[in-house]
Amino acid sequence: MKGLIRFGVMATILLSCRALPEESPMPSRKIQTHAGPEDMDIDSVNGNPALLIACDDRRCKDECTQGMILRFDLVSRQMDTLPRVGEPEGLKFHPHGVDVVPDSMGSLLFVVNHPDAFTDAILVYRISAQSLQFLKSVSSPHFTSPNAVVGMKDDLFWVSNDRWDKDKMGEVLMTKAKSRLVQCQGNHQFVTGLPVAFGNGVLVRQGRMYQAATRGNAIYRYEIRSDSVTQRSEWCKLIGPDNLREVEGALLVACHLRGMKFMKHAMNANKISPTAVYRVPWSTGKPELLFFDRGDDISAGSTAIQWKGHLYISQVFEPFILEVDLN
């Protein structure tokens, strides 16, 4: 079952005896997508602000329908599939983590792509309101199990691996801190930073990089240097942090608080799994609960984005994102 080894093993050992938070009494509604809207980012350059949502069916067996990038216009509320043009013939598209990066010509979309069980790459596209123009594909032996990507200007980006040896489940089961960051610029890729236990979401802000360690139950902070990241410190403690996004004055992170429930949900859509979203102010590094749901409204939430009084939460498996009224 494609994708369930990656998510299932992670989930099985994300166990905590802490009590769950109180549910958030805020109005919400489902916005339908295709299966598996695991990650998303906001594009504010090409027309109205819009969510670009990476969808891939993570419960399918054998040959699977290819994934896609959806565009949800936050003003008109129209949902469309963005056509991908200029790709090499035969490219298989199964997106995972994504990152939108403004540049001098508009904006770029970086995509972690898992075309099969043995090959991984970072795809880069030029974004317009109507399509995604393929620019390049970057592969590296250092992409051992890429989960998330963060791009910058000048052809520079970082990849967060969740495992250092994709074929060895013991690395995750034994909570071994072995997965590494990879820095990429042009045709050069090299390992940087200290190893973590199941690296996940990454974010760059003001010369610092933040990386979620899902098994490490922490978000780490690095100082960025021209040739590496240095001076790592544990910036924030959280259970099961996933993708990272920025909001004014803070970081947003979706978390998986109950690993066994995540695992059951991965195997059966009728089994619910809790979703928590935290706001972590840059000034304090202390998590503040913004949203919690036991799984009745959304299960296995993976990314949170805040826009004009609304919180948008994506998830790993089910075919919708959740829009929450924060006011």
pTM of the predicted protein model: 0.92
Question: 267 near 4, Cβ under 8 Å?
Answer: yes
pLDDT in tens, 216-265: 999 999 999 877 889 899 999 999 999 999 999 999 999 998 878 888 98
pLDDT in tens, 155-208: 899 999 998 766 555 555 556 787 899 999 988 999 998 999 999 999 999 999
Give residue 261's pLDDT. Answer: 87
More confident residue, 164 or 281: 281
Find the mean pLDDT for residues 21-45.
93
Find the mean pLDDT for residues 105-127.
94
Give residue 117's pLDDT. Answer: 78
Give residue 7's pLDDT. Answer: 46
Residue-by-residue DSSP string for 37-97: EEEEEEE-SSSS-EEEEEE--SS--SS----EEEEEETTT--EEEPPEESPPTT----EEE
Beta-carbon contacts of 29 under 8 Å, excluding residues fewer than 6 positions away, are 322, 323
Give residue 174's pLDDT. Answer: 57
Give residue 206's pLDDT. Answer: 94
**Beta strands 156-161; 179-185: pairing state:** antiparallel
Whether the pLDDT of residue 8 is over 50: the answer is no
Domains of the chain: 4-325 (2.120.10.30)
Whether the pLDDT of residue 9 is over 70: the answer is no
Give residue 166's pLDDT. Answer: 63
Range with the poorest average pLDDT among 51-60, 161-170, 274-283: 161-170
Q: What is the dihedral of CA 196, 259, 302, 101, to 10 degrees?
A: 10
Give residue 319's pLDDT. Answer: 97
